[in-house]
Each structure stands twice: as structure tokens, then as C-alpha cells.
Amino acid sequence: MHGVPASGVTSVVLNVTATAPTTAGHLTVYPSGAAVPTASTLNFAAGRTVPDNAGQTKTFTGLDEQPFTVTSNSTLSASGFKATPNLVNSWWQNTPFRISMKVSGAQDGVAAIRFSAFGSCAAQSTTPTHEPDGSYSVPALMYQSGDGSASGCALNAVVIADGAGDMAVYGDQFGAPDPGLKVTGVLNAVAPTVTSAALNVTTVKSSRTGQQSVYATVHVTQGTAPVDESDSHVYDSTGKEIYGGGGGADVGPDGTMMVDMPLPYGLAPGTYTLGFSVVSRGRLRTSYGEPGGTPVPGGPLALTVTAG
């Protein structure tokens, strides 16, 4: 086998074939000493023989996966992968964003962009939009964050197809170059706060405790994540907790919520203090009215239990 002369050569024609590969991958051919290109010369799937002969195009169909086309003279490639916005607040709901990239070498436009991601994101369409800055983008969705963990994802497979049927692939699913794109969810850094709280009743008979509906009307300023839980505590005159409860919470558009204050049956006559906590979906908790803790805005929630 003879090498390529060091001078006097302006181009070469190579036949490159992947023969019965056991796994998917890609092959990049480039001059010795040059930087490795970002686009592969040949992309192949497991168990398929894919020739790349100068000037030839071959399409494989009737296989387990979607048909694909390989062309030897294709220069289709992508760069500048990004997400808009890259920092997504999905604490409140599933939140849309867009994946975009610069595409070069496309024939007859960019027909489709497909991607998959590791994490809490999903593609919403494969039909790209040609943006004013020349990039191409597709819509995506970040699923709602919860249980104290912000959602996020990293692209691990991207397929760009042009109008001529040529394709460029990126990501470790194909053993191809990493698009290097991670989409980050906003961290739950701001806890909820309460600006006012008042009991619906301040006196109840001992015989009615455990039956009487007691609750506090609370006005809450929600933080990064919405409030979805609350709990309550009953303290006697010595500051000892004698009862408590908790559950889900709904905050109205004006920030008002109801915090249930359950009482035990047969609570002895006396004066009691009620405390409560509000908890965000990000599991940040703010407590009020606990002995030695943050006082309730507007004063203590005092309840008098009378005989009878």
C-alpha cells in the first residue's frame, strides 16, 4: 500500500466501509496533523454494512430502525448547540424551552432535527424553525421539578437531516461527538414567607375539641417553588407540643391559604398556642409560632379551651 505524496496533491478519493459492526458508531477521515473535524465521515449502526464511496448514495430500508442515508460527499454538520433559556424554572409546571444549533452543508434546507436527552426533558417536535440568526431550533419540554430536586437534562443523541436525505449525528448514543449541551433547572433557593395569619375561632369548648373546625387563614409569599404542604402544632402553656398534623396545601391567586389546626378530643380547659409551617415543592420549610422560633406575623395564634 502506497502513502499519499507530501506535495503536489490537492484531493484524494477514498472508499470507506464499516463491515458488520457490532455496535453503532462513527468514523472520521481527515489529513494527518490536522485538527479532528466536528462532523463524522461515516455513521453506522450495529449489524449493517454501510459503504461510503465517492459520489454514491445508498439508502437502507426495511430494518428495525428508521431508514437512513449515507452520502460520501455530504458536508452536513452542526455546531453551537444551545438551549433557550438554558436555566429553566420548572418548579411550577412542565416548562417549554428550545434547542438550537448552527447547521452547515445542508442541501434543500434542514428537514428534521431529532434529539433525546438523559434526564427530565423531551422533544416536542422534529420540525425545525429557521431562526433570524441563521440557527435552527426545535421545541422541547422540561418536566416539573419536585421533591426537592430541580429537573435538568443533557443531550445524548442528536440527528440532523437535510432535504436531500443526508444526516449528521451527535451524542454518545451513536458513539459520535458530544453536542456538549446540558439544560439546567433553577435551584430552589428562596423559601416561602408568611405576612399574616389569623384563626377562624379563638375559643372552643372542651367537649367540642376534635370536632370543631379550627384553621388559620394565612397569606404567603411563595419563593422559587410553590407551596404544596403545611403542618400545624398545638403547644400548651409550658411550650410543650401536645398535638400536630399536616397535609397538602393550596395557595390561591392572591397568596391566601388555609392551614388546618386539628385539636385532640377532650382537650383540657386552658390557653394554648398554635404554630404552623409552610413547605414548598422544593422542600424548603418556614415555621412560625414555635416556642423560641419565628413569631407569627401579627401576634401569636392563641386558642382558649373552656369547660363544657
pLDDT digits (tens, 9 = 90+) for 89-98: 999 999 999 9
Mean pLDDT of 166-193: 92
Over residues 270-305, the pLDDT tens digits come to 999 999 999 999 999 999 999 999 999 999 999 999
Quote the pTM value: 0.69
pLDDT, mean of residues 57-67 = 41
Contact residues for 53 (Cβ-Cβ < 8 A; gap 6+): 15, 72
Residue 47 CA to its chain's centroid (Å):
34
pLDDT confidence band for 16 (50 / 70 / 90): low
**Which stretches of 95-181 are assigned E, i.e. beta strand?**
95-104, 110-119, 121-123, 129-130, 136-142, 152-162, 167-170
**pLDDT surpassing 90 at residue 51:** no
Res 244 pLDDT > 90: yes
- Distance, CA of 136 to CA of 112 (rounded, Å): 10
pLDDT, position 193: 97
CA-wise closest residue to 241 among 222, 264, 259:
264
CATH topology classification for 193-306: Immunoglobulin-like (2.60.40)
Whether the Cβ atoms of residue 221 and residue 251 lie closer than 8 Å to each other: no
Q: With CA atoms as reference, report the closest residue to 263 among 235, 240, 284.
A: 235
pLDDT of residue 183: 94
Question: Looking at per-residue confidence, does 70 or 97 come out higher?
Answer: 97
What would the mean pLDDT of 84-111 be, rounded to a whole number?
Answer: 95
Instruction: State which H helix or E strand residue 87 sits in.
Output: strand 87-88
Tell which residue, 215, 208, 186, has the closest CA to residue 274.
215
Q: How far is CA 196 from CA 45, 162, 248, 293, 298, in A?
A: 63, 59, 20, 16, 6
Could you please state the CATH topology (level 3) that the domain comprising 58-185 is classified under: Immunoglobulin-like (2.60.40)
Q: Band the pLDDT of 61: cuts 50, 70, 90.
A: very low
219 touches 196 (CB < 8 A): yes
Q: In terms of pLDDT, which residue wins out, 44 or 125?
A: 125
Whether the predicted pLDDT of 187 surpasses 60: yes
Q: Per-residue pLDDT for 22 more than 80?
A: no
Query: Quick one: DSSP state of residue 65?
Result: S
Can you tell me which residue has the cell 422541547?
140
Topology alike, domains 58-185 and 193-306: yes
Q: How far is CA 95 from the centre of its chain?
A: 8
Contact present, 252 and 232 (Cβ < 8 Å): no
pLDDT score, position 269: 97
60 pLDDT higher than 90: no
pLDDT at 72 over 50: no
Contact 191, 245 (CB under 8 A): no
Q: What are the domain boundaries of the chain?
A: 58-185, 193-306
Cα–Cα distance for residue pair 43/167, rounded to 1 Å: 9
Q: Is the pLDDT of residue 49 over 50?
A: no
Compute the half-sphere exposure of residue 232: CA atoms within 13 Å on the CB side of its CA. Answer: 23
Q: What is the mean pLDDT of residues 4-11?
A: 59
Local structure of residue 146 (DSSP, 8 states): B
> Is 80 exceeded by the pLDDT of residue 168?
yes
- The DSSP bridge partners found for residue 236 are none
Instruction: Check whether 58 has a pLDDT greater than 90.
Output: no
As given in the structure block, the three cell numbers for residue 252 are 390561591
The confidence score (pLDDT) of residue 212 equals 92
Has residue 152 got a pLDDT over 70?
A: yes
Q: Categorize the per-residue pLDDT at 247 as very low, low, confident or very high, splitting at 50, 70 and 90.
A: very high
pLDDT tens-digit series, residues 221-238: 999 999 999 999 999 999
Which pLDDT does position 50 carry in this prediction? 46
Nearest residue to 303 (alpha-carbon basis) of 197, 167, 168: 197
> What pLDDT does residue 75 have?
80
pLDDT at 2 over 70: no
